Structures are given as structure tokens and as C-alpha cells.
Amino acid sequence: MAREILHGVAVSAGISIGKAFFINRQSRRHIPRETIPASKVDYEIDRLTSASAQVREEFEAARAKVPEELREHGAIIDSHLMICQDPKLMLAAATRIRERGITAEWALEQSVESIAAAFSAIDDPYIRERIQDVRVVAERIMQRLLGGKDTSRALEERMVLMAHDLTPADTIELEQDKIMSFATCEGGKTSHTGILARSLQIPAIVGVEGLEETVRDGDLIIVDALRGRILIGPTEDELADYSDLKYQFENYQKSIVRQCKLPGETVDGFRLDIQANIELADELQSVLDNGGEGVGLYRTEYAFLNRKEAPSEEELYREYATIAERLAPAKVTLRTLDVGADKMMNTQEKLEEANPALGLRGIRYCLKNQELFRRQLRAILRASVHGNVAVMFPMISGIKEVRQARYQLNIVRQELDEAGIPYNPNMPVGIMIELPSAVMISETLAQEVDFFSIGTNDLIQYSLGIDRANKHVSYLYQPLHPAIVRSIKYVVDAAHRAGIEVSVCGEVASDPYCIPILMGMQIDAVSIAPQAIPGIKRIIRQVNMEECKQLLRDVLSHATVSKINRKVRQTIFKRFPEELTFFASLLDQDD
Amino acid sequence: MHNTISEHEGCFSAIICVRNELGLHARPAARIAQEAQKFQCELRLVVDDQEVDAKSILDILSLAAARGTELTLKGWGDDAKQALEHMAHVFQCTLGEGA
């Protein structure tokens, strides 16, 4: 056993074995909170000014070294440069020194805390998090004040970089070819560290609890950025096992990316459409790079969140038309506004619902706010002439909602006809199947629409009556619960009997343990995160339909989750012994 | 667009609409503060009842101006007119389509 194992969020997949190297460690020193005599005020202000000037020079030097392919991160250094000379930070700190007669360190600390307090009131989570940038910059100035050495220490050998948080400037100052991987205490999937690590293709784990307390400079560690673990002081056996795994993973990674443009077709010629789930037009490139064959789920709510007023029809139209054009002839399925529960709009009045997940969300919200709904539908219809566009309604619980939604769509069509604005009259209209009621009446629903998309994340939560973000019950989130497998099969069969297509979007579709079962049901398409596409395509390309059907029959014959999971694990593990070592499955939590 | 500059008792102002996808986030805010700092005059940004210093990236960020927000840029002082003309252009490039 390793002496210690820490857990975090893997943001860039891979494994590295090496010595830990902390940057910014010395800054975690005592800050002198002292008052000074009036005669020393100018001296303290000078110290502050020159410390900030030094840091500014460092940023400028780092900025000049940013390679072309990382220009995006250069812009982050720009914002750090601006923070470094911001009146809110520097002028305010100088004023504090003068007015309160305190040390430069203490004044700087107070200024940061006062900015932090102001930022904590901001609704937009992305902007709220920018306080981290302020802290990073202030930290550097603090180091200079405290007489810290230059952080741009050259790495002597390849190291695993550890930090409280890591900025692009930190990273670029270091020699990148000597960085094996990153691990930080702060950060989540969308932090700069994560983005940077992925673009540099360096394994990384962020949000590691206990990192600073446990790891020392020079410790031998294994960063397992496949499962989000850090092993400190590993045993000989662990080192051997992880060296093998690292080698295998790197080869595997190379081969799946090479093959990601090949179709998702089984050995015996059964073709599955592999589409992507995205929420921003910016993600299109990643869809194409990973071999996505269209967008099966475009989450349109992003444009509505974190803003004071809902977007205009024109704005939405431009967004949708751009995506449609860039993807054509591939399909883009636009899911209409799905807000409520965990995704509340600023414009949405405070509903104060006791159970928002069971409240006014998805299509229910749209049917209550028809003007807004029609605005979006008009934008979608207008965009439909720019490519292969389909529309999809979320949270359908019964026939009436489908008809009401279609009624709104017809009103918009008439308006466009009258105004002589072109649209595709045959634009496919589909619904999400994510409520147990929709499952049970899927046969009748199939008569009303052109396609189904099964949203497994919500279907699992509503069927099993659990919130998987709730740690007390998340263990009940079981994708292969017999009720779920049977529900999905029931919907797929109903769709096919009615002659319409059915796809599965949701994490189940990107889980290597689940995909063969879905294929056994003969689903037509999956829609998954772009990064998951190469791996899932690779599995599909190695199976044949008969074995998928057999696995499905086996699964359906078992009545308990544990039996099903055991059966699936045995079968899949026998079939894909190497590959599955690299995937974390939804089934893993059952262990 | 909305870049008409008007003058009232020595105070110049222009109305600007945030058009980029992510709103007034770190990158555009840095650029705006950077450009604003090139001028001597006072430059302020107003959204609803919030008024901030256009030379401070932190102030600009604190507006949390999302796409579609209308901002008023105000300037007074010696080079205010040139500043407004320059800044209106900067805003258009920074917050325009595809920025």
C-alpha cells in the first residue's frame, strides 16, 4: 500500500510517476500585521510599488514567451498584468498604508479581502471565481514583499508540479518539457489549470484535498489522472503496475485518436450515429476533432443564464444559424430552453418552490412563458434553412404537453409565413424521454413526434426517486437498475414499432460498460461529451451485434442490480481487458 | 451601431452593447482597462445604478455585464473626447461579434 492516497478531480487524463515539486510554497509564510510610525509610511509605499513593478516585469516577460498555440492563455496573463496595476488593489493598498499606518503586507492583504468581499456578491459564477486571479497576483506581490526568491526556479529534472493553484504565467515560466503532470488544491473542471493541462496534453488533477499538508518537495508520487488519485510514497508493486498502466494508456490514447474519424460501426456492419452534447458554439471544434458526427443535444439554456434579460430572437437566430452552418450536412438537435431546478435564470422570478426538481422546469416553464418560448422557436425555425436542424422538447410528461408545444410551433410557422421569412417546413420535431410517465406512454408519444432522445441522467433520478448530487442517496444512482434497463428497452421498442429514430443522451451512453447493452437494444444514435467519443467509437468498432444482444438478454434475465453489474463487469472485462482499465464507469461506485 | 458619442456640459458619453458570447469577462475587461489607462481623463462605466472606474479591471468585472447588457461609457477631462472615440472603437472590437 502507498503511504497515503489523496483524491481530486482528474481534468486531463493520464498517469505520471515522479518527484513532487511545489511552487509558491514559500508564500505560505507569516504575514506581518504591524503598525508603523508615520515616518515609515513613504518607505512602505515604496516597497509596495517596487514589489508590484517587479511582478509586472515578470508577467511581461512571461507574456513574451507564450507560444503561438497558447495565445488564449497569454490573454489570462494580460488580465493578471492589469490586476497588478489596478487602482482597486494597489492604490487602495497604498491608501491603507497612509491612513491606517500599517505594513505594506498587511495593507495588501486587507485590499484583497475587501475585493473578495465585493466579488462574493456577484451572481455570475465565472466572474465570482476571478477573485482567484486577484489572489494569485497579490500572492506574487506578497512574495516579493516578504523577500521571497524568484518563483521561476528552473526545474532540474522532470517533476510533478504541485501548487495551491496554478496560473498560466506560473506554468509558462517553468520549462514545460520538464513538467510531467500538475496537481493543485484549488480548481475544478473548468479552471485555467484544467484548460491549460488539456491543451498541453499533460495529466492533471485539481481540487486535491490535503495536498499541501501531505506532500513534501521531492516525495516520490504517482499522479493517476484516470481515476483522480495521488499515491504518495508508492510501493515497488504499485510503481511497477502504474508504469505498465502508463505505457498502455499512452499507446491506447494514440490509437483511439488516430481512429476517431472512422464510423461507429460494429464488426458485423451495424452503424450507430455518434453525436455530441454541447452547450456552446465554441465547443464545435472539439466535436469535429474527436470524430463527432453531429450534435445530438445542444443545450440552449446557456444563452439565457447569468444575464439580466433574456436574449433577443436575433441573437438566438445568429447563434443557431452559425452552428447549423458549421455542422451542415451533419445534424444539430436544438433542445428548447430547459431551465428550472438547478438551472435558474436571472429573469425567472423567484418561484420559491419547495421541490424545484418537481416544479416549473423544462417544457412546463416554456408553456407558462409562451412569448419567450415562441421567440426561441422563431429563432430555431429561421436557423433551420442554414443546415440540418431538428428541435427537441425537454421534460415531456404526457401527450398534452407535446401538442401544446407543437401548437406554439405552428403559431410561429404561420407568423413566419405571413412575414415571408423562410424556414424548413419539414424540420424534425422530437422529445426527450426522461420521465417515467413518458416511458410508459412512449407508444402513443411516438405517434406525435419524429424522434425520441432518452435522457438517462434525469430518467434514472426520477425513476429511482433520488438526487445523485445528494451524498446520502447517491449510492442509489444505478444506471443498470432493472427498472432503468427495461424502461430504456421499452422506449426503444416503442419508437421502432412506430418507425421513428431513438437516441440516448446522458452519461450511460458514454459508459463503456453500458454501451454494448444499449447497442443490444438497437438504438440509432448516442449523444455524448466530445472527449468521450473516440473511446466509445473504439468499443463499438470491436463488438458484434449478436454479443450485444446476448448481453442484453442476460441483463434482462436478472432481477437485482448487483447481479446485473457483476454479469456486465465479467463480460465486458473479458472482452476489453485493457481498455476498461482506462475508464471510470458509473458502475464502479457499486464496489 | 450604438456608438454615437454625445456631449453634455463637458461630459462625453456613448452607449455600448455587450455582444460577445461570454459577456464582459476577464479578457475583454483587461483590454478595456488597458486602453482606458492610456488616457488622462476620468472614464467611468455605468450599468443601471452601478457606476465604476473604466481603468480598473476589477471594477469592470464587478459589473458582471452579460451579453446583451447596455453600458454607458462616460468621460470628462482634457482628452475626454479622444478617449471616448478610442474607447468606443475598442469596445466595438472587443465586445463585437466573435470576440
Q: What is the mean pLDDT of residues A194-214?
A: 80
Binning pLDDT at 50, 70 and 90, where does residue A151 land? very low
Q: What is residue B6's predicted lDDT score, i.e. its pLDDT?
A: 86
Q: What is residue A580's predicted lDDT score, i.e. its pLDDT?
A: 72
pLDDT in tens, A491-531: 999 999 999 999 999 889 988 899 999 999 999 999 998 88
Residue A89 with chain B: CB contacts under 8 Å: 58
Pick the residue of B27, B58, B63, B70 with the most A CBs within 10 A to test the interface with A by mutation.
Answer: B58
Residue recorded with cell 490535503: A210
Q: What is residue A147's predicted lDDT score, i.e. its pLDDT?
A: 77
Q: What is residue B90's predicted lDDT score, i.e. its pLDDT?
A: 87
Phi, psi of A449 (to 5 degrees): -135, 170
Do A590 and A514 form a contact (C-beta atoms < 8 A)?
no
Q: Pick the more confident residue, A305 or A82.
A: A82
Q: At what angle do helices A482-497 and A456-464 cross, to 10 degrees?
A: 130
- Is 70 exceeded by the pLDDT of residue A253? yes
Do A337 and A373 form a contact (C-beta atoms < 8 A)?
yes
Binning pLDDT at 50, 70 and 90, where does residue B2 land? very low
- Say yes or no for a CB contact (<8 Å) between A78 and B27: yes
Q: What is residue A493's predicted lDDT score, i.e. its pLDDT?
A: 98
End-to-end CA distance of chain A: 19
Binning pLDDT at 50, 70 and 90, where does residue A65 land? confident
Question: Pairing mode, if any, of strands A501-505 and A525-528?
Answer: parallel
- Looking at CA atoms only, how far is residue B84 from chain A in angstroms? 20
Residue B57 with chain A: CB contacts under 8 Å: 79, 82-83, 86
- The mean-pLDDT minimum among A103-112, A178-187, A301-310, B58-67 falls in A301-310
- Is 50 exceeded by the pLDDT of residue B98? no
d(CA A392, CA A448): 12
- Say yes or no for a CB contact (<8 Å) between A82 and B59: no
Q: What is residue B93's predicted lDDT score, i.e. its pLDDT?
A: 80
Q: What is residue A185's predicted lDDT score, i.e. its pLDDT?
A: 86
Binning pLDDT at 50, 70 and 90, where does residue A271 land? very high
Q: What is residue A469's predicted lDDT score, i.e. its pLDDT?
A: 66
- Say yes or no for a CB contact (<8 Å) between A124 and B66: yes
pLDDT in tens, B6-37: 888 889 999 988 887 777 887 888 889 989 99
Question: Is residue B25 among the annotated active site residues?
Answer: yes
**Which residues have C-beta within 8 Å of that of residue A87, sequence separation ≥ 6?**
B53, B55, B56
Residues in chain B: 99
Mean pLDDT of chain A: 87
Share of chain A above pLDDT 70, in %: 88
Is A245 strand, coil or helix? Answer: helix
Q: What is residue A174's predicted lDDT score, i.e. its pLDDT?
A: 65
- Say yes or no for a CB contact (<8 Å) between A82 and B33: yes
- Looking at CA atoms only, how far is residue A178 from chain B in angstroms? 29
Q: What is residue A256's predicted lDDT score, i.e. its pLDDT?
A: 85
Q: What is the mean pLDDT of residues A310-315?
A: 91
Question: Pairing mode, if any, of strands A294-299 and A4-7?
Answer: unpaired
- Say yes or no for a CB contact (<8 Å) between B57 and A312: no
Q: Pick the more confident residue, A353 or A234.
A: A234
Binning pLDDT at 50, 70 and 90, where does residue A190 land? low
Q: What is residue B99's predicted lDDT score, i.e. its pLDDT?
A: 38
Q: Which residue does chain A place closest to B22, by CA atoms?
A: A303
Q: What is residue A342's predicted lDDT score, i.e. its pLDDT?
A: 63
Q: What is residue A471's predicted lDDT score, i.e. its pLDDT?
A: 66
Spell out which chain B residues touch chain A, with contact meaning CB-CB distance below 8 angstroms. Answer: 21-23, 25-27, 29-31, 33-34, 37, 53, 55-59, 61-62, 64, 66-69
Of the candidates A469, A393, A475, the residue with the CA atom closest to the CA atom of residue A435: A393
Question: Which alpha helices (H) appear in A296-362, and where do they start and end?
Answer: 313-327
- Say yes or no for a CB contact (<8 Å) between A87 and B56: yes
Q: Which residue type does B82 have?
A: Q
Q: What is residue A325's predicted lDDT score, i.e. its pLDDT?
A: 95
- Is the ipTM here above 0.90? no
pLDDT in tens, A12-31: 889 999 999 887 655 455 67
CB pairs under 8 A between A and B: 77
Residues in chain A: 591
d(CA A525, CA A31): 58
Q: What is residue B97's predicted lDDT score, i.e. its pLDDT?
A: 45
Do A114 and A134 form a contact (C-beta atoms < 8 A)?
no
Active site residues of A: 192, 505
Which residues 17-76 on chain A approach chain B with CB closer than 8 angstroms?
Answer: 75-76
Residue A76 with chain B: CB contacts under 8 Å: 26-27
Please name the member of A83, A281, A306 whose beta carbon is closest to the beta carbon of B57: A83
Q: Pick the more confident residue, B57 or B26.
A: B57
Within 10 Å of residue B94's Cβ, how many Cβ atoms? Answer: 21
Cell numbers of A119, please? 466579488
Q: Pick the more confident residue, A72 or A58.
A: A58
- The mean-pLDDT minimum among A80-84, A207-211, A308-312, B36-40 falls in A308-312
Query: How many Cα neighbours within 13 Å face the side chain of A175?
Result: 9
Q: What is the mean pLDDT of residues A138-145?
A: 87
Please name the member of A86, A123, A130 whose beta carbon is closest to the beta carbon of B56: A86
pLDDT in tens, A572-583: 888 887 677 777
Q: Which residue does chain B place closest to A87, by CA atoms?
A: B56
Q: Which residue does chain B place closest to A125, by CA atoms?
A: B64
d(CA A500, CA A108): 64
Cell numbers of B93, please? 472590437
- Is 80 exceeded by the pLDDT of residue A55? yes
- Strands of A300-411, DSSP E: 331-335, 388-393
d(CA A72, CA A297): 27
Binning pLDDT at 50, 70 and 90, where does residue A90 land? very high
